[in-house]
A and B are shown apart, each in its own frame.
Chain A
């Protein structure tokens, strides 16, 4: 199928739990659509060739490069971006651990890394360091040297296993 460039397609998707609509050209990358049409500027674009991982989002729960997908391919799907992680202005356990461990500096790669970590911890709830590093190999961070990121992920995995983090969250509902 070859659609003319100016032909716009109707897209309906679920973005961070809300149904969203837009019209865009068939060639529009998903990252551009999310950022510029739907306002999800937490999705960052670092290389547009699938190496840096900054644009990673969850597509139906699977961590995916939004620079390597077309917006039309996301029609009818569920997309979760970094903006979905905090609830009622409270950062989730992973975000809080990133701050504690100084796992970010400029923060540009962080959105994508967080989304990969979210999916990874669901698949691999008790990872060792080598597994965490292997998962992170799909991301480039130029600021941190990855140390804080690895520590944060391992800590959250441990906390979730011992149920600590849920307890903490309910004890400190106003923690901002």
Chain B
């Protein structure tokens, strides 16, 4: 039983990455109607920015948490301005293809310069060590990841669902022409939204850097799992993607305990089940 609690907690940690990434995808999809295939690559860039900040500029983890999302967010906004915006009005599939191409370029460039095996990034001193919870040894850093991502997810939800800015955002999704008529600069809002979504991915990247090796392909496989998460949860609601993200992390954690062989397929299997039972996804709205 004790082991079970431990696995539940560990599952929450993975869930935080799923939640942060699927949240970013949902935010971008809501505004741009684009499935951002480059999300995994931008997540990886976040981790690399943290690595550069520490090793080239001596800037620590705490600053990286702020600087990396901003840097990658700006990079994302440049992508949106120079490329993505030209796809407006075209079939959604072109957005997928374009961002897939961007992902290949970014990952390829990083692989050329940094190889495949990855670079080390150590846990900040303040979060080193662990506490014995009785039923498990919890590294402090892991606990921090869960709490911090939960806070970020909720803050994002609040921003979009409860603030004036969020109201404009949601309105612009429904009817951009009308919102423009109110004197709101819709293209700029779209750019900022893409920056926000991408920034969330980069933030997840910084959070994962001390846990995993900082590798050029660290986001490539992850993004496919997150796609399945998104299919399960649907991209209709912000809260929906947060909850599905965490929930699937927990389910995956339990699988690792009961039947580890299936732990990397369980999310996909769940996706199949959900599609068979409730084709529109758990949170409702069909695409």
Query: Does A pair with B?
Result: no
